[in-house]
Amino acid sequence: MSKRIFVIGLFFLIGLSSCEDILEVPDISVEKVILLAPADGVVLDKNLLSLSWQHMEEAHGYHIQVATPDFENPAQLVLDSVLEKDSLGYVPNHIDQNLADGMYTWRVNAFNSGFKTQFSTHSFQIIDEEETEAVNITSLQSTMTDKGTNAIQPHTTGADQ
């Protein structure tokens, strides 16, 4: 009888240790979500964009927020969404969003059943195409002036002088 109780107890202990392995959740709280696009400080001329970040292996989902102009002094929280693992185990690592012209800050954190990461944050600006062209031309002119474009002089011979 005591042998039977010992065997049952042994199986019970083995079963408990197996369940502990199954229930253990990886601590992702010290990890950081890497934001891919839009990059920090970028100026865009398209209103429909895809916010994308690098997939985190142990994440079961992501919390995505977009505010204008930023999260310290938000005029509006434009997007507040949670993307979670689907029935096939897929977790999206991007979301498409249509935004008006303006300044934006976006952030993402990852979570699983026991832990979450801190938010990773980037800022960007959307301006219309005409403003983008003006910014690009001003930037090009500034670059050309800095590099000394006036160093290109027509070649003259002694006979021309």
User: Tens of pLDDT along the chain (161 residues)?
Assistant: 666 666 566 566 565 554 444 568 899 999 999 999 999 999 999 999 999 999 999 999 999 999 999 999 999 999 999 999 988 889 999 999 999 999 999 999 999 999 999 999 999 999 986 654 555 555 545 545 555 544 444 444 555 54
Question: Cβ neighbours of residue 79 under 8 Å, at least 6 residues apart?
Answer: 64, 65, 66, 95, 97, 106
**Model confidence, pTM:** 0.66
Q: What per-residue confidence (pLDDT) applies to 50? A: 95
100 in a domain, yes or no? Answer: yes
Q: What per-residue confidence (pLDDT) applies to 72? A: 93
HSE on the CB side for 24, CA within 13 Å?
7
Q: What per-residue confidence (pLDDT) applies to 92? A: 93
Q: What per-residue confidence (pLDDT) applies to 89? A: 87
CA distance 68 to 124: 10
CA distance 12 to 19: 11
CATH number at residue 74: 2.60.40.10
94 in a domain, yes or no? Answer: yes
Q: What per-residue confidence (pLDDT) applies to 149? A: 45
124 in a domain, yes or no? Answer: yes
The whole domain housing 52 covers 35-139
Question: Cβ neighbours of residue 127 under 8 Å, at least 6 residues apart?
Answer: 43, 44, 45, 101, 135
103 in a domain, yes or no? Answer: yes
Question: Cβ neighbours of residue 55 under 8 Å, at least 6 residues apart?
Answer: 91, 93
1 in a domain, yes or no? Answer: no
HSE on the CB side for 47, CA within 13 Å?
7
Q: What per-residue confidence (pLDDT) applies to 151? A: 43
Q: What per-residue confidence (pLDDT) applies to 152? A: 43
CA distance 115 to 79: 23
**Number of domains observed in the structure of the chain:** 1
Q: What per-residue confidence (pLDDT) applies to 22? A: 57
Distance of CA 1 to the CA centre of its chain: 62
60 in a domain, yes or no? Answer: yes
The structure tokens 């895809």 sit at: 50
26 in a domain, yes or no? Answer: no
